[in-house]
């Protein structure tokens, strides 16, 4: 059984991107790779996908953990909670998400904080992972998915297939078209009666506010640059 020091060393090695240190831990305590890290509430593969993502050597560390036996679809000790792909989707770390997908992670895994990894990616403005998931076969079957991703044909088909679609769903789709920067989808939805001043209960701000956002990856980068001392021009 791994010790608490093994857990802490694993966590630190992953966060620091220290491949040699992680290799030593895995050699000395191989069971740590499948453990729910004591006191830390996550598996090692969750650590590399945790918010805010983009840890040094993240993709290589994910590959190392998977090669050592990490479960790409791991959840909590009781079988609940999010998978590592849910977490990577929520931070828009597409490089790590790609490693997980190529290792067989379930791209339709349910029960994330919003739903599937695609639900999480779109819901949190994680456009790089969202497009990666779709490219790898994730289903686009909801109005808000299609509108956020700019899939106008799919959006039209969904609207035509269910003429009695509720006003709320149409308005939500417009809000997500705004978040995704999808003008053609926005025009289509407004022509179908969507309200341009709509604000969903699960988010702050109107459609215009959503359209003015940076998205998760860009916001993450901006915050990191500011932490490094970068400044904008006057």
pLDDT in tens, 151-188: 999 999 999 998 889 999 999 999 999 999 999 999 99
For domain 1-139, say whether CATH 1.25.40.20 is its number.
yes
Q: What is the spatial distance between Cα 1 and Cα 78, in angstroms, rounded to a whole number?
A: 19
What pTM did the predictor assign? 0.94
Residues 96-106 have a mean pLDDT of: 98
* pLDDT recorded at residue 40: 65
Supply 210's token pair. 């959503």
Tell me the C-alpha distance between 130 and 84, whole Å.
15
pLDDT band, very low/low/confident/very high, at 2 (cuts 50, 70, 90): confident
- Alpha-carbon distance of 118 to 107, in angstroms, equals 8
Fold of the CATH domain 140-234: 1.25.40
What residues contact residue 202 under an 8 Å CB cut-off, 6+ apart?
none
Domain ranges of the chain: 1-139, 140-234
Q: What is the pLDDT of residues 200-232, one digit of tens each?
A: 999 989 999 999 999 999 999 999 999 999 999
pLDDT digits (tens, 9 = 90+) for 115-135: 999 999 999 999 999 999 999
Nearest to 170 by CA among 149, 196, 151: 196
Question: Residue 48's closest CA among 56, 40, 39?
Answer: 56
Note the pLDDT of residue 76: 84
CA distances from 27 to 15, 21, 64, 171 (A): 18, 10, 12, 54
pLDDT of 40-82, one tens digit each? Answer: 678 999 999 999 999 999 999 999 999 999 999 999 888 889 9
Q: Which two tokens stand for residue 48?
A: 């590399």
Percent of the chain with pLDDT over 70: 99
**Radius of gyration for the alpha carbons in the chain, expressed in angstroms and rounded:** 20
């Amino acid at each position: 059984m791994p010790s608490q020091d093994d857990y802490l060393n694993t966590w630190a090695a992953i966060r620091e991107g220290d491949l040699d240190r992680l290799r030593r831990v895995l050699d000395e305590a191989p069971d740590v790779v499948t453990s729910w890290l004591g006191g830390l509430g996550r598996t090692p593969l969750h650590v590399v996908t945790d918010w805010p993502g983009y840890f040094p050597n993240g993709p290589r560390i994910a590959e190392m953990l998977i090669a050592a036996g990490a479960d790409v679809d791991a959840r909590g000790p009781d079988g609940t909670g999010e998978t590592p792909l849910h977490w990577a989707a929520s931070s828009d770390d597409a490089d790590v998400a790609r490693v997980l997908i190529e290792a067989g992670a379930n791209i339709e895994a349910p029960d994330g904080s919003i739903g599937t990894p695609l639900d999480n990616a779109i819901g949190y403005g994680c456009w790089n992972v969202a497009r990666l998931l779709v490219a790898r076969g994730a289903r686009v079957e909801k109005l808000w998915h299609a509108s956020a991703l700019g899939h106008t044909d799919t959006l039209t088909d969904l609207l035509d297939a269910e003429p009695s679609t509720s006003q709320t769903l149409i308005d939500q789709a417009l809000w997500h078209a705004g978040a995704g920067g999808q003008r053609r989808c926005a025009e289509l939805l407004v022509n179908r009666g969507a309200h341009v001043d709509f604000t969903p209960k699960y988010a702050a701000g109107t459609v215009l506010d959503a359209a003015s956002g940076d998205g998760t990856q860009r916001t993450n980068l901006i915050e990191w640059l500011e932490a490094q001392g970068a400044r904008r021009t006057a």
